[in-house]
Structure 1
Amino acid sequence: MADPMGVRRDLSGRNEALKHLVMPHGGELVHLTVDEDRKDVLKDLSLHIPSIILSERQLCDLELLMNGAFSPLTGFMANPDYESVLDRLSLQDGTIWPMPICLDVSETEASRLESGQSLALRDPEGFMLAVMHVEEIWLIDKKREAQTIYGAMDTTHPGVDYLFHKTGSHYIGGRVEGINMPLHFDFKHLRLTPREVRAVCAKLGWRRMVGFQTRNPLHRAQFEMTLRAMREAKANLLLQPVVGHTKPGDIDYYTRVRCYQSASRHYPPNMMLLSLLPLAMRMAGPREALWHALIRKNYGCTHFIVGRDHAGPGLNKEGRPFYEPYASQELLS
């Protein structure tokens, strides 16, 4: 019977620990930022190649590609991996991965690009973050993606609505070389990369870590649930709220982070770590729960808390839940 307070799943699988920590997903923690000499080459190249201004969601995806949270991905997916993810919840090589990570562009932008071309990726202010080497361009079958990823065509679902009304007509896939991480001016000390979280764990001697994701202020029941998970797993806690693109109507993350900081003082000393995750949520229910678990594995978590209706968007236009309440727990069990 499913645990209504949440389920803790062991993410370590058959991999041996990397030193004393769980192995990253795929066996290696990806790091896409190039060295200074290569940065100079890419900056010169950017003067002669087209540019794309990234949306909020695309910026989140790029940041997590660059810092290794999306390991083993080394760029935006090409079509073979995209098709495999839709059909089998895995990359073409068989590595489990449930969510397509592709760069969408408009029909006009797609018509100006071709395979083998390089492309500068910029933030809304024009600051260059990375260069993408285009491998493939294809027309999106949005109805198929909506039905496969979200299990719905109802635009009451925020992920479906985004796909139909904000996503471009084409996807482009290809390897990414990072130059600069997206800029943030708030809570810098809490925006830890997977390598930085793992370094903290190594320094503190943590060998087991429970990951807990939230996009809401931490309430008392959740606080008690995390303590229970820590006791049962004999582990420390990574409290990792999402500060990227979440569900419309959510409380702003500035307010939420202050709530997490206040709550953190009530945990036992040196037993929890607060780290912000710039993730663009899709609200895709069970697929997303698996995705969240794999991301936390890259941060060094050995366990992950999956709650009731994890990453669910609420009710459809007929007033029914999009996903069964324990579907996410069943997929990860």
Structure 2
Amino acid sequence: MKFIAATAFLAASVSAFTAVGPRGRHQQLVQSNNVNAGAFAPAIMPSNSALFMAAKQVVHGGGDLVDLMCKTDVEKEAAIAKATVELQATERQLCDVELIMNGGFSPITGFMDEATYDSVVDNMALPDGTIFGLPVVFDTNDESLQPGTTILLKQGDLPIATVELTDKYTPNKVKECKQCYGTSELEHPGTLMVATERGKFYMGGKVTGLNLPVRDFPCKTPAEVRAELPDDKDVVAFQCRNPVHRAHYELFTRALDDPLVGEGGIVLVHPTCGPTQADDIPGTVRYKTYEVLKEETANPRVLWEYLPYSMHMAGPREAIQHMIIRKNFGCTHFIIGRDMAGSKSSITGEDYYGAYDAQDTAKANAEKLGVQPVPSLDLVYTEEEGYVTVDEAKEKALHIQKLSGTKFRQMLRGGDEIPEWFAFKSVVQVLRENI
């Protein structure tokens, strides 16, 4: 089946984001004293755990930041010695196991067992009530893998982690997709992934980290990012999976002026560089565009880091997942654009989610999450005053400039001059050289 991207790799116009209604001042962050039992309880931190709390934000679930990495070669050798089966991890599994090992998925410490999986699918929460957006599972088609086995996950010749398998179950994938993606139609990219990429069985298991995956772009751990963040300032996360253009840059830099953000706040631009939709720009190319833009703008209030996360295009559920991950990376606020992580039917082209579904879900769960959604300005470019809000453009009768994603790609391929109000020259150059 031919698959059409849920969202074009560039916005159809610079007014790709729409404002969220105003909310009250930043709320006191919520901590939960509950932890998950067994394989999914937060790991005990080493003596240098204070390093991980350099940021203002608490860890999701109220405990310490999970850190499952072996610290010595002796520990690694002992862990590997327990494994009786070696498996090559898929790209999506590598992303998931990395975020389990380094605490990005805190408070979980392993792939979800059946009870945890069911709880997240049915209730968008772990068994102890801690909110969690999407299940994190180890999938396989191997009939012979059984609970009690310890497997060694590898990336080529590099040992990444061991997983002590605790149970094996056959998921109700139709139910999973309806609950998590809102549909069981194969025209949805997330449903298609669950149906055709994931194995027949899911297995729960406690993870022990050996080595972080080797990537073409650096992905700092939550501990490393937290150590670089101020402990007295708000940190606003901006999620993207495509090259950043002028409208996006204006959007996340102006977010710092929002009354919900404290004085002196900073932005963490944190793109996902793992697997995504079939038609999206490859992660390595996206990374190059971010690096040249970081150098070109050199904004001291904007930090750039990269996230090894595989997109599900799950709309509201994925917005929650992104907020949890960024909370663990130290962010206090999160920008949610219009139809975040949204997708379209590959047959009809119709949207699976409403334009504000992700925003509404985030606002409704902000207190549980301990992360404040920040209104996403609806910006347009005008001939007279540059970027302004749609309302301001209408009020002043300004002339709005638009450039569709289709037209932009045609100009890119044809070598035509791209307006600087739409895209940064450095980003355009990278795209022309690599796609």
Determine if contact 2:54/2:227 at 8 Å carries over to the other structure. no
Aligned partner of residue 146 in structure 2, secondary structure: coil
Asked whether 1:83 is paired with 2:118, we answer yes
Give the 3 Å change call, closer, same or farther, for CA 264–12 of structure 1 in structure 2: farther
Tell me what 2:70 maps to.
Answer: 34
Asked whether 1:207 is paired with 2:233, we answer yes
Question: Among 318, 329, 332, which residue is 1:288 paired with?
Answer: 318
Determine if contact 1:206/1:236 at 8 Å carries over to the other structure. no
Aligned partner of residue 175 in structure 1, secondary structure: strand
Tell me what 1:217 maps to.
Answer: 243
2 CA distance for matches of 1:170 and 1:276? 31
Asked whether 1:171 is paired with 2:206, we answer no
The correspondence of residues 135-150 of structure 1 with structure 2, limited to 5 A, is 135-150=166-181
> Quick one: which amino acid aligns to residue 30 of structure 2?
R
1:11 Cα deviation after fit: 8.4
Give the 3 Å change call, closer, same or farther, for CA 12–19 of structure 1 in structure 2: farther
2 CA distance for matches of 1:214 and 1:319? 22
2 CA distance for matches of 1:293 and 1:270? 23
Aligned partner of residue 286 in structure 2, secondary structure: helix
Give the 3 Å change call, closer, same or farther, for CA 114–257 of structure 1 in structure 2: closer
Give the 3 Å change call, closer, same or farther, for CA 131–302 of structure 1 in structure 2: same
Give the 3 Å change call, closer, same or farther, for CA 206–221 of structure 1 in structure 2: farther
Determine if contact 1:215/1:241 at 8 Å carries over to the other structure. yes
The correspondence of residues 70-219 of structure 1 with structure 2, limited to 5 A, is 70-106=105-141, 109=142, 111-123=143-155, 125-184=156-215, 186-188=216-218, 191-202=219-230, 207-219=233-245
> Quick one: which amino acid aligns to residue 309 of structure 1?
D
**TM-score normalized by structure 2?**
0.69
1 CA distance for matches of 2:19 and 2:292? 22
Tell me what 1:14 maps to.
Answer: 30
1:268 Cα deviation after fit: 6.5
2 CA distance for matches of 1:117 and 1:8? 52
1:170 Cα deviation after fit: 0.3
Determine if contact 1:53/1:121 at 8 Å carries over to the other structure. yes
1:127 Cα deviation after fit: 2.5
Give the 3 Å change call, closer, same or farther, for CA 103–223 of structure 1 in structure 2: same
Gaps of 5+ in 1: none
Give the 3 Å change call, closer, same or farther, for CA 127–315 of structure 1 in structure 2: same
Gaps of 5+ in 2: 1-16, 33-51, 364-435
> Quick one: which amino acid aligns to residue 305 of structure 2?
S
Determine if contact 1:8/1:306 at 8 Å carries over to the other structure. no
Tell me what 1:326 maps to.
Answer: 356
2 CA distance for matches of 1:67 and 1:57? 16
2 CA distance for matches of 1:11 and 1:103? 36
1 CA distance for matches of 2:89 and 2:22? 35
Tell me what 2:85 maps to.
Answer: 50
Asked whether 1:313 is paired with 2:350, we answer no
Determine if contact 1:316/1:322 at 8 Å carries over to the other structure. no
1:140 Cα deviation after fit: 1.8
1:44-98 deviations in Å (ceiling 9; x for gaps)? 233xx11222111111111111111111110100011100001110000111001
2 CA distance for matches of 1:11 and 1:259? 35
Determine if contact 1:8/1:229 at 8 Å carries over to the other structure. no
> Quick one: which amino acid aligns to residue 78 of structure 2?
V
1 CA distance for matches of 2:27 and 2:94? 27
Among all aligned residue pairs of Structure 1 and Structure 2, give the percentage whose two residues are the same amino acid.
36
1:118-166 deviations in Å (ceiling 9; x for gaps)? 111122x242211111111001211111111111122121111111111
Give the 3 Å change call, closer, same or farther, for CA 12–256 of structure 1 in structure 2: farther
1:261 Cα deviation after fit: 2.5
1:148-199 deviations in Å (ceiling 9; x for gaps)? 1111122121111111111110000011011111112x333xx211111111
> Quick one: which amino acid aligns to residue 255 of structure 1?
V
Aligned partner of residue 287 in structure 1, secondary structure: helix
